[in-house]
Amino acid sequence: MPPSVQVYDTTLRDGAQREGLSLSGADKLRVARRLDQLGVAFIEGGWPGSNPKDAEFFERARDAEWQTALITAFGATCRVQGGPDDDANIAALLNAHTPVCTVVGKTWTLHVTDVLRTTLDDNLRIIEVSLAYLRAQGRRVIYDAEHFFDGYRADPAYALETLRAAVRGGAETVVLCDTNGGSLPWDIAEAFRAVSAALQHPLGIHTHNDGECAVANTLAAVRAGARQVQGTINGYGERCGNANLCALIPDVELKLGRACLPEGRLAQLFDVAHFVAEVANLAPDEHQAYVGKSAFAHKGGIHVAAMRRNAQSYQHIDPALVGNTMRVVVSELSGRGNLLSKAEEYGLAAGTSAGVSDVLTEIKALEAQGFSFEAAEASVALMLKRQQPGYTPPFELIDFAVIVEHRAGRGILAEATVKVRVGGDVQHTAAEGNGPVNALDAALRKALLPRYPAIAAMQLADYKVRILDGNNGTAATTRVLIDTQNGARRWSTVGASTNIIDASWRALADAVEYGLTVAAAADN
């Protein structure tokens, strides 16, 4: 078996440098626990002494039990022309009480002379003595060679000397960093092979994504001998981000055949990606590889027809390997296979071939009018349900009216009246609301509640409006998407019309009908 690859997660330090991302000390501890469950080898907790949140994290992490991961503190070499024994940064690393310290140092001559403003020899000295001092205090040390690939292009001999200084200082792994993120995979591979031959020491790779090559660059390094990969969950990081561990880990395990995580842990990856996004208060990128909800979503009719015969025909891996699932999306691009798959997903009998064809024809016609069924799967399920023999809808609209007016002392007020047929009875009700859709919703609920008590548990969770053809001004077609929730179950429905109230009613009526049919099926 090829050697395993260590996963070094820096979400809590490098990932937290993403613009718009802020993690509290408690947030960082929650993420670290989840990463430990995933099975990464190292969790970089932050830069001790730089801010109170990192100090809080290291204090709380000290007393926690970690199953697979080693908590790592990050810092820089000691001051130029100084020593580590009285250096505040080195002292902060020791005071974090982590078993591992990661130290970053300068590789590029430009940084040594223009940023540190010291000599090339002094830079070599502070690298070596900083690491040696930490080792003497009982810490394991990883060395991050900052801007290595830029430095190697500028002066290969000096770049290698900085790495040799780190090895002399006791670094267990020397990590080559593409800090500016502008290298290409063949540059990484060539430099990595040269360093590996010259150094004969365990190497790691740390890449940024400024050229959209961070994962590719990391894979090139692994193929060239890297034994440690550094990255972040969801690719979070400064500027354009870091190497995305959610793509990198399955690439290394499933494509290169190298173990990264303990056996059986890879299937947690989908949940980890969404958990970290939730804690970071960022919308998950559902189109990212492996862990996005769209990663294994199929929309084209030809694709779905082929996959119904062999799932490997349009999927590069089994989604379950990373904890994801295959999804079929219904739209005007769908074929019969999409609807048959959707019927199976919802536990519905597909009905006759003619019935499926009728629904497909209706979907294509409605999408031409502005409907979109990709994000409104409950509306699709209802269309299929209505094709089943013997299906009777729980209610039937006779008419509705909505009035919006300004009333003295009360401001803007909406009132809706709804007349629906429920079984053999006609219910005629009215209700007020803070807007026309709210009033319609209240009036419909009022009409249905005596017959269907289950409607009381349904809540309108989200309401989205999109203008489809803005050039038509107020005569434009409007699409409405409604999300409805009942406990943990959530469903989406769609309506479209040149009249926003009509579009809203269609989506609202579908939402209520779907919820009632699900409740009835559960009772039976």
Mean pLDDT of 205-210: 97
d(CA 207, CA 226) in angstroms, rounded, equals: 12
Q: What is the pTM of this model?
A: 0.73
Mean pLDDT of 336-350: 53
Question: SS3 string of 128-197?
Answer: HHHHHHHHHCCCEEEEEEECHHHHHHHCHHHHHHHHHHHHHHCCCEEEEEECCCCCCHHHHHHHHHHHHH
pLDDT band at 383 (very low <50, low <70, confident <90, very high): confident
* pLDDT of residue 381 exceeding 70: yes
Q: Residue 356 has what pLDDT?
A: 59
Q: Provide the sign of the torsion angle of the four alpha carbons 80, 84, 89, 90, taken in this order.
A: positive
Q: Pick the residue with more confidence: 117 or 469? A: 117
d(CA 145, CA 143) in angstroms, rounded, equals: 6
* pLDDT of residue 469 exceeding 60: yes
* pLDDT of residue 352 exceeding 50: no
pLDDT band at 331 (very low <50, low <70, confident <90, very high): very low
- Count CA atoms closer than 13 A to 18's CA, side-chain side: 25
Domain 455-524 architecture: 2-Layer Sandwich (3.30)
Instruction: Tell me the domain boundaries of the chain.
Output: 6-279, 297-385, 404-451, 455-524
d(CA 202, CA 46) in angstroms, rounded, equals: 23
Please enumerate in sequence order all residues whose Cβ is within 8 A of that of 55, keeping only pairs 6 or more positions apart, or say none: 48, 49
pLDDT band at 302 (very low <50, low <70, confident <90, very high): low
* pLDDT of residue 374 exceeding 70: no
Calculate the average pLDDT of the chain: 86
Q: Which range among 114-123, 188-197, 219-228 shows the weakest confidence by mean pLDDT?
A: 114-123
Q: Give 216-266 as a DSSP string.
A: HHHHHHHHTT--EEEEBGGG--STT-B-BHHHHHHIIIIIS----SSTT-G
* pLDDT of residue 421 exceeding 50: yes
Q: Residue 333 has what pLDDT?
A: 47
The CATH number for 6-279, chosen from 3.30.465.10, 3.40.50.300, 3.90.950.10, 3.20.20.70, is: 3.20.20.70
* pLDDT of residue 304 exceeding 70: no
Q: Residue 329 has what pLDDT?
A: 60
Helix (H, G, I), strand (E, B) or coil at 489: strand
Closest CA to 8 of 291, 221, 210: 221
Residue matched to tokens 């060679």? 145
The amino acid sitting at 279 is V
Please enumerate in sequence order all residues whose Cβ is within 8 A of that of 348, keeping only pairs 6 or more positions apart, or say none: 381, 384, 385, 388
Residue matched to tokens 């007393």? 63
Q: Residue 377 has what pLDDT?
A: 73
Span between the terminal Cα atoms of the chain, in Å: 53
Mean pLDDT of 354-358: 57
Mean pLDDT of 468-484: 72
**What are the backbone dihedrals phi and psi of residue 394, each rounded to the nearest 5 degrees, phi first?**
-70, -20
**What are the backbone dihedrals phi and psi of residue 448, each rounded to the nearest 5 degrees, phi first?**
-95, -25
Mean pLDDT of 429-454: 90
pLDDT band at 98 (very low <50, low <70, confident <90, very high): very high
Question: SS3 string of 296-312?
Answer: CEECCHHHHHHHCCCHH
Question: SS3 string of 323-369?
Answer: CCCCEECCCCCCCHHHHHHHHHHCCCCCCCHHHHHHHHHHHHHHHHH
> Are 232 and 245 spatial neighbours (Cβ–Cβ below 8 Å)?
yes
Phi-psi sector, 281: left (phi>0), alpha (psi -120 to 50), beta: left
